[in-house]
Amino acid sequence: MNHRTRIIKTTGVIAAFCISLSAQLTASAQTSKKLTSYVNPFIGTGAVKGSLSGNNYPGATVPFGMVQLSPDTRDEPEWDAACGYDHNDSFIAGFSHTHLSGTGAPDLFDILFMPYTGDEKTRAGDAKQVGSGYGSRFSHANESARAGYYQVKLDDHDINVELTATAHAGFHRYTFPKNSKAKVVIDLNHSLKKPNFGCQVIAAQFKMVNDHAVEGFRVITGWAKLRKVYFYAEFNKTIKSNDLVNGGTQNFDQKLLNGTDLRAIFDFDVADGKPVLAKIALSTVSTQNAKLNLDTEIPNWNFYQTVTQADSKWEKELEKIKVEGTAEQKEIFYTCLYHTFIQPNNYADVNGDYTAIDYTVHNTKGGFYSTFSLWDTYRAAHPLYTLVQPERTAGFVNSMISQYNTYGYLPIWQLWGQENYCMIGNHAIPVVVDAVLKGTPGIDINKAYEAVKNSSITNHPGSPFKAWEKYRYIPENIQSQSVSLTLEMAYDDWCVAQLAKKLSKTADYQHFMQRSQNFKNLYDIQSGFFRAKDTDAKWQTPFNPLQYGGNGGNPYTEGNAWQYNWYVPQDVKGLISLTGGDKKFTAKLDTFFTLTSKPGEVNGNASGFIGQYAHGNEPSHHITYLYNYAGQPWKTQFYVAKIMSELYNTSSSGYAGNEDCGQMSAWYVFSAMGFYPVNPASGVYVIGAPAMKKSVMRLSPIKTFTVLAPNRTAENIYIQSAKLNGKVYTHTYITQKDITDGGVLEFVMGNKPNMNWGTAINDRPVK
């Protein structure tokens, strides 16, 4: 059975569910098909036959929620299943409550639940692996998922598991075989593979609250350097007996257990044939807050009501953009939109409490958002939020500023409120500047400027600003990944300058504009590439523009000189000039998209190749749009259409690489609408080739921006002409104001390039 199919088998207990769920979900869907019906949570969950995947999980979550309740198909997930789930696996270790969507590194996997029948089993050779004794085989034939809902039958136990979620809580529904020995294990030691990232449980506790409830916590180190995870869980049935297990020691019917390797095993009576329901909320602050979260969000035992509520929450968010296209396009589009709205995650409790980066408890009314995979998401995901999630964007920015207040600089990669310094640069800066310059309400512009400025002058791991000021490039012998860093820091500086300009801070503006030109100091005219220098300004040799770097020890971050050749979004004109003019620039782009030579070792993050272009990783994401800047927009149209049709699909390997917390999806969402934020903070969107016949972006209750391309087909990928609000439009870009004023952008598409549209030399995107 195709993993994409979401038909639920109408046999046994699952049939009963179907009727119940359908009754509740179809009422509102009868008039028009709900957008949530296009969401396929299995897209990107596992590579098919050596192809690529997104590292997405199929479990239940709500938009920007703290809880992601999803099956873990590994006892101890590693890099290759960083989200906990691999569609190629046929084993489920259990269902944990927190997951990362599409990241390259694993973490979270908190508070694993697993129902099972009979006595603990030990899989051969796995005796020491926590939880493996309870794991079960499963089949995709008996698995289904939709936005906010996941279901699977556990073959080894004959249990049907259904999961849903609220912002802070998971809701489980386990249908056991009647009269079976029904058990549920809760594992507080389930984690990424120890001791990777120094992962260890520092402390954990179970405390039986009464014969229906248990609370506790775990404190754990990992990719996030220290997390406090408190929980409060309730069951609909009496816990007949419990076994609190500490390592290898069992403690029957004890009220409490402390330790680091803890499991709780609860027995239930299922002779009545009714399912066991469990609901559990999390908090970073206390078990009391976890209980408050649970009582607030799931006050009753109506599982399907929570499923319906989750669906409604998703529907509300997905309605921000309505598109018309093929069924496949809509499945890809709405799954992408779904993936972009999974995070950033609000870790504040319902009362506003949260644990800050300095491990003190703060309170906020605006939400405390984390999961900032900024090196990825500043490119398109955050610009998308700025357009369609303005309130949450204020929450994101204010959360980043909250980190600045406590930590002295904006986040680099913030996970569960903790900084892990993953990747390079400080790309919260473009996010903050983008949000402020586009007029997002609810942000203190002066505080925002203080934050971006101090983040640009305070040395921190990966950001050696003193060297930046001294050398006007990053010397590789001071900081590796120096070419990528030089290029990306120059862009961040340009953003700081724009906000300085807005605030009439002329000296700052000039200073940061000057720094934003530092990219030129690493351009080697002879080779025609950005190359690494040392502190003596000597070029690093030997140089091979195809040679890949990783995440350290090499000038290029997860890429090569070819891929980083194009990273000057703040001054593409300057880059064209360095390259030798429009013709040489477009010729070089042509080579880039067709040069298939590869060195011996390609960085694992580089994938989804078109020539040297690697759509599977972020450094390439803006490159297709650069043809517009040099008068050949039809080539942009060609490659954008090619990527959308060839590098996205509805399979479990539907992404060309890690989905990266919404970035890979946001690229599609923008591109499918027909434009892309090459320079996210500039307020300019470069026109590509719309994939949809119609896209309507809702900007406010009374304002929309519509893109029409009624004759777009698989062949008609080229823009023949355009109109903006009924007037002929020849620019190859639109501006923020064009969008926020509302209106209609209409394209006539054709199967051949119209080389006369949008090619005037003065028609380049402005900055």
Q: Which residues bind a copy of itself (CB under 8 A)?
A: 198, 200, 202-203, 205, 207, 217, 219, 221, 225-226, 228, 246, 249, 251-252, 254-259, 285-287, 358-361, 407-409, 419, 454, 458-461, 466
Are the C-beta atoms of residues 754 and 721 closer than 8 Å to each other?
A: yes
Which is closer to a copy of itself, CB of 230 or CB of 648? 230
Contact at 8 Å (CB) between 605 and 658? yes
Q: Which residues lie across from 549 on neighbouring strands? A: none
Q: Which two tokens stand for residue 85?
A: 């789930």
Shortest distance (Å) from residue 255 CB to a copy of itself: 7
What is the DSSP pairing of strand 743-750 with strand 703-708?
A: parallel
**CA distances to 196, 318, 387, 520, 621 from 695, in Å:** 44, 12, 14, 39, 21
Q: What is the distance between the alpha carbons of residues 547 and 574, in angstroms, rounded to a whole number?
A: 25
Nearest distance from C-beta of residue 256 to a copy of itself, angstroms: 3
Which CB sits closer to a copy of itself, 254 or 540?
254
Is-contact 483 563, C-beta < 8 A? no
Burial (CB count within 10 angstroms: exposed 0-12, middle 13-18, buried 19+), residue 481: buried
Query: Any idea which residue has 């999806």 for tokens?
Result: 665
Minimal distance in Å, beta carbon 207 to a copy of itself? 7
- Strand order, beta sheet including 418-419: 372-373, 413-415, 418-419
Least CB distance from residue 361 to a copy of itself, whole Å? 6
Cβ proximity of 27 and 14 under 8 Å? no
Of 364 and 458, nearer to a copy of itself (C-beta) is 458
For residue 556, the minimal CB distance to a copy of itself (Å) is 23
CB of 185 to a copy of itself, least distance (A): 19
Shortest distance (Å) from residue 349 CB to a copy of itself: 13
Can you tell me the distance from the alpha carbon of 729 to that of 706, in angstroms, rounded to the nearest whole number?
A: 15
Judged by beta carbon, residue 284 or residue 628, the one nearer a copy of itself is: 284
Nearer to a copy of itself, 221 or 309 (CB): 221
Query: Is the distance from CB of 63 to CB of 313 less than 8 angstroms?
Result: yes
In the chain, DSSP finds a helix count (H) and a strand count (E) of 18, 39
Contact 564, 619 (CB under 8 A): yes
Q: Which is nearer to a copy of itself, 358 or 444 (CB)?
A: 358
Two tokens at 765? 């995107």
In terms of phi and psi (left: phi > 0; alpha: psi -120 to 50; beta: otherwise), the region of 506 is: alpha
CA distance 44 to 336: 10
Closest distance of CB 203 from a copy of itself, Å = 6
- For residues 31 and 360, which CB has a smaller minimum distance to a copy of itself in the complex? 360
Residue 454 vs 514, nearer CB to a copy of itself: 454
Tell me phi and psi for residue 452, to 5 degrees: -70, -35
Query: Least distance from C-beta 160 to a copy of itself, angstroms?
Result: 35
Closest to a copy of itself by CB, 419 or 738: 419
Please state the closest distance from residue 489 (CB atom) to a copy of itself, in A: 17
Q: How far is CA 202 from CA 110, 111, 205, 225, 259, in A?
A: 14, 15, 11, 11, 8
Nearer to a copy of itself, 203 or 595 (CB): 203
The torsion of the CA quartet 647, 650, 653, 657, rounded to 10 degrees, works out to 40
> Rounded to whole angstroms, how far apart are CA atoms 327 and 189?
42
E strand intervals along 364-481? 369-370, 372-373, 413-415, 418-419
CB nearer to a copy of itself: pick between 256 and 714: 256
Q: Is the CB of 87 or the CB of 227 nearer to a copy of itself?
A: 227
Min dist CB 301 to a copy of itself, Å, is: 28
| C-alpha Rg value of the chain to the nearest Å | 26
Q: In the chain, what is the straight-line distance between the N-terminal and C-terminal CA atoms, in Å?
A: 50
For a copy of itself, the closer of residues 227 and 322 by Cβ is: 227
User: Smallest gap, in angstroms, from Cβ of residue 739 to a copy of itself?
Assistant: 38
Comparing CB distances to a copy of itself, the nearer of 285 and 374 is: 285
Closest distance between a copy of itself and the C-beta of residue 370, in Å?
Answer: 16
Orientation angle between helical segments 482-502 and 445-455, nearest 10 degrees: 150
Q: What is d(CA 121, CA 133) in angstroms, rounded to the nearest whole number?
A: 4
Q: How near is the Cβ of 459 to a copy of itself at its closest, in Å?
A: 5
For residue 290, the minimal CB distance to a copy of itself (Å) is 11
Residue 463 CA, chain-centre distance (Å), reads 24
Q: What are the tokens at 93? A: 């270790």
Pick between residue 481 and residue 560 the one whose CB is nearest to a copy of itself. 481
